Amino acid sequence: MARLHSRFLHCLTFVFYTTLISHSSSTLESDFSIIDSDSEVLLFHQDYSPPAPPHPPSVSCTNDLGGIGSLDSTCKIVADLNLTRDVYIAGKGNFYILPGVRFHCPSLGCSVTVNISGNFSLGECSTIVTGTFQLGAYNASFYNGSAVNTTGWAGDPPPETSGTPQGLAGAGGGHGGRGASCNVEDGKLPEDVWGGDAYSWSSLQNPWSYGSKGGTTSKEVDYGGGGGGRVKIIIKELLEMNGSLLADGGDGGSKGGGGSGGSICIKARKMTGSGWISACGGNGFAGGGGGRVSVDIFSRHDEPKIDVYGGISHGCPENAGAAGTLYDALPRSLTVDNHNLATVTETLLLEFPHRPLWTNVYIRNCARGTVPLLWSRVQVHGQISLLCRAVLSFGLAHYGSSEFELLAEELLMSDSVIKVYGALRMTVKIFLMWNSKLQIDGGEDVTVATSWLEASNLVVLKESSVIHSNANLGVHGQGLLNLSGPGDTIQAQRLVLSLFYGINVGPGSILCGPLENASSDAITPKLYCEHQDCPIELLHPPEDCNVNSTLSFTLQICRVEDITVEGLIKGSVVHFHRARTVSVWSSGIISASGMGCIGGVGRGNFLHNGIGSGGGHGGKGGLACYNDSCVEGGISYGHRELPCELGSGSGIESPDDSTAGGGIIVFGSMEHPLSSLSVEGAVRADGESFEGTVWKQEYSVSNASSIAPGGGSGGTVLLFLHTLTLGESAILSSVGGYGSSKGGGGGGGGRIHFHWSYIPSGDVYQPIARVKGSIHARGGLGRDKSGAGENGTVTGKACPKGLYGTFCVECPAGTYKNVTGSDRSLCHRCAASELPHRAIYIAVRGGNAETPCPYECISDRYDMPHCYTALEELIYTFGGPWLFSLLLVGLLILLALVLSVARTKFVGVDELPGPSPPQHGHQIDHSFPFLESLNEVV
């Protein structure tokens, strides 16, 4: 309806105008006109500006312009022409300004309008100088060396704008970007001070505003540079741009601010050439802001140079005027580029269109864009790109109470910064950072204290990129989060990383929550230091993985398949929830050391002279002694079998004279244990040690305080696991801190507990832990006469029958365990009477849970179950050696009798042939054998 209403009013205006000047109607009935809104709609399918006011009658080619020919055929301007008033040129023919001709109207706001149906050309080295230049033609050519120059010739800027700076500061004028100011006001940041303000954001797609004049430094003389003029070119077919279109702000010299750039609007079906289009701010004591350029070209064969940067500030070279805006209608992209001129002055980016969405937004080359609204949605269909020291800020510094939405396909940052004053809700598919920073200042307003960044495909930080929030921050995604190397950091007071399939914390990179050395306005997570009861969320965390300020976590990684740690993960309460595997490489550290309570249930105590005892936790804190006076250390507290307590500290709140206990590191939960934890580096929840020397640069300065606190106690490492692998260099630690060198007691050791989710036993037994590294929960050393802290505890879940120890290994061969528990003494020695002489006990899969204990013979020569030889087996089968001997003797006797009877019965002397009987007188007859006696048989 709005468009139809606009067209209707425009048509009425056109009819009224043609009635008034019917004698020149033929020149207005052209096929293409810069004042015909309907023709623009047909060409470009959208309205670019409101209806133009009626023009005066067209001038003639020969009488008024001194040219040759006719505007209805071909008009040629062959000689220089200086105009003194606005000129309107209309006709059905061609209009040519021949080479070397100067076509000038050198007065502020002077307007030159060319509206023809044919072709237009500006010859080589020809110039048009005016305040406003409008061109409508079929084809147009701007030849080499030619120029349309409106620099510094602007008329009055739109009313009720503050583009022209006030006062005598010599500030720059504003338009597309703010003008610079070289004044430094007490209590204000450089970006809080600027010259002329920006305006005409709503018309940046069809800019038509003059630039503003720069300020002055003198009451007597106005040294400010003039604002840039206006240029509008609408070409139906081909635009050849080899010349220059200039709408720059005028220079203000050393005593005046530069004027701001003006407006340039170009529309054509095709464009060729490599000319120059510029609406830059003017140079001066303080530079002017850039103007506004809009380009709507369907087919672009060459890329002319287009500039909208701010002017140079001679009074403060590090603070040029802010960049203007370049809008490209075909891809619907906005570019803010300051040509590598350093500045702290900003370009305002106000409400972004919702229908249709812009495709891309580029902020480049030291440009600084700002969205200064209380709530704003920056939404584009494609890419938001910050390159080469660009800055994009949301909200107002010092007022962190705004909320912003940023939605795009991609957010790319290189050597750039995004600043958010309030809360950011970001949704992208790809988020890439190269040597860049995303800084979120949540302020003290808890209602907007939570920001979340969602990147569904990929988040990559490289070359010391940093995401920093002094409030709550959630980073969510469905793909990969990769902190590539040294300096890459994500840190917040409360940090939740969730839903990625993988997180890689590269060598030298950091995940941290809460911040170390946080500022006073940071929202500090509340630690439950005065309670011994375990927060239920540590054992049964919620499933939603959202940032929740009521929970005790300060750093949670939730619903992530695989986590690789080659850098540092550090926090007060670190939790890995619903993860599949965590791998800590040799360079990797997961730490809660010194991140627990300064006070706490087991806080240390102090003697009258300031010497303090150690904090307690798994073990008591060490005594603090001086001469013959001693004070007890902190008490031991917490649960041995399922610990989840923070370590306690020295008990004194002074940041320079205190120590803190260790924090909490929890892997998995009761319902969702970790599938696998592999550690080659370190997992630490140690208590803090007091350093008696403060190092400042190259000098050591002794701490002059009389306070000598004890060490903090170790914290808690609680592991809900399926399997564990500790390499040879791995360290799993919850040790107490050392006391002050002036005599503080050592902190007590913390607690480490392995809560195995499933312990296979019997024939299906598999080792659940392969431990080659070190596990420590010892107390910290005391100093001077003070005592060391007691050792903490290292425990595991009760093991089933046959298994024992923290890691539920098989009971040694020769022992059995027929009860549930982990103590080594539950593996009872097997009865010695049950082991054969030539046998040894053997290990069986899953340990021995019953008696008798299994064994095997020492050699294959012996047979089970008694480990006898074959003969011994035979002997013992028949009752042993004595009985076997009697049986054997009886068997021999029986055999002898059988043989004797057989001889008598079957072998007779008469029946057998043989020699004659021996002669009488022989002692023995040798013709046939016979038994002399029973001894011969035996």
The DSSP annotation for 883-901 comes to HHHHHHHHHHHHHHHHHHH
**pLDDT-based confidence at 17, cuts 50/70/90?**
very low
Q: What per-residue confidence (pLDDT) applies to 705?
A: 63
Contact 735, 752 (CB under 8 A): no
Q: Which range has the worst mean pLDDT, 206-220, 344-358, 673-687, 896-910?
A: 896-910
DSSP assigned state of 447: G
Neighbours of 206 (CB within 10 A): 21
pLDDT at 571: 94
Q: Quick check: 73 pLDDT over 90?
A: yes
Give the residue, 521 or 401, on which the prediction is more confident: 401
pLDDT value of residue 831? 87
Q: Which of 516-520, 726-730, 883-887 is predicted least confidently?
A: 516-520
Q: What is the pLDDT of residue 626?
A: 83
Burial grade of 8 (CB within 10 A; 0-12, 13-18, 19 or more) = exposed
How far apart are the two ends of the chain, measured CA to CA in Å?
138
Q: Would you say 596 and 712 are in contact if contact means Cβ atoms under 8 Å apart?
A: yes
Position 104 pLDDT exceeds 90: yes
- Token readout for 801 is 């029958």
Is residue 9 over pLDDT 60?
A: no
Question: Given this model, what pLDDT does residue 697 score?
Answer: 37
Please indicate whether residue 683 or residue 161 has the higher confidence score (pLDDT): 683
Structure token pair of residue 74: 């071909």
For residue 627, the model assigns a pLDDT of 82
The fraction of the chain above a pLDDT of 70, given in percent, is 88
User: Lowest-pLDDT range, 87-101, 400-414, 445-459, 500-514?
Assistant: 445-459
**pLDDT at 189 (0 to 100):** 77
Q: What is the pLDDT of residue 931?
A: 47
3-state secondary structure 610-651: CEECCCCCCCCCCCEEECCEEECCCCCCCCCCCCCCCCCCCC
Whether residue 4 has pLDDT greater than 60? no
Mean per-residue pLDDT, 664-675 = 93
Query: Lowest-pLDDT range, 47-56, 365-374, 693-702?
Result: 693-702
- pLDDT at residue 537, rounded to an integer: 84
Helix axes 870-877, 881-906, angle to 10 degrees: 80
Residues 379-407 have a mean pLDDT of 89
Does residue 2 surpass a pLDDT of 60? no
What pLDDT, in 10s, does the model give residues 427-468? 999 999 999 999 998 866 666 778 999 999 999 999 999 999
Angle at which helix 37-44 crosses helix 2-20, to 10 degrees, equals 130
| Beta strand pairing call for 839-841 and 855-857 | antiparallel
Is pLDDT of 938 > 60?
no
Is 80 exceeded by the pLDDT of residue 878?
A: no
What distances in angstroms separate CA 247 from CA 46, 252, 277, one per listed residue?
A: 25, 16, 8
Average confidence score pLDDT of the chain: 86
Nearest to 584 by CA among 457, 474, 733: 733
* pLDDT(233) > 60: yes
220-229, 371-380, 382-391, 862-871: which has the minimum mean pLDDT?
862-871
| Residue 396 DSSP class | B
Higher pLDDT, 214 or 708: 214
20: confidence class by pLDDT, cuts 50, 70, 90: very low
**Beta-strand pair 472-477/230-235:** unpaired
The model's confidence at residue 7, banded by pLDDT at 50, 70 and 90, is: very low
- Mean pLDDT to the nearest integer, 540-547: 85
**pLDDT value at residue 552:** 85
Residue 10 to residue 255: CA distance in whole angstroms: 46
pLDDT band at 521 (very low <50, low <70, confident <90, very high): low
pLDDT band, very low/low/confident/very high, at 798 (cuts 50, 70, 90): very high
Give mean pLDDT, residues 803-817: 90
Using CA atoms, how far apart are residues 612 and 711, in angstroms rounded to an integer? 9
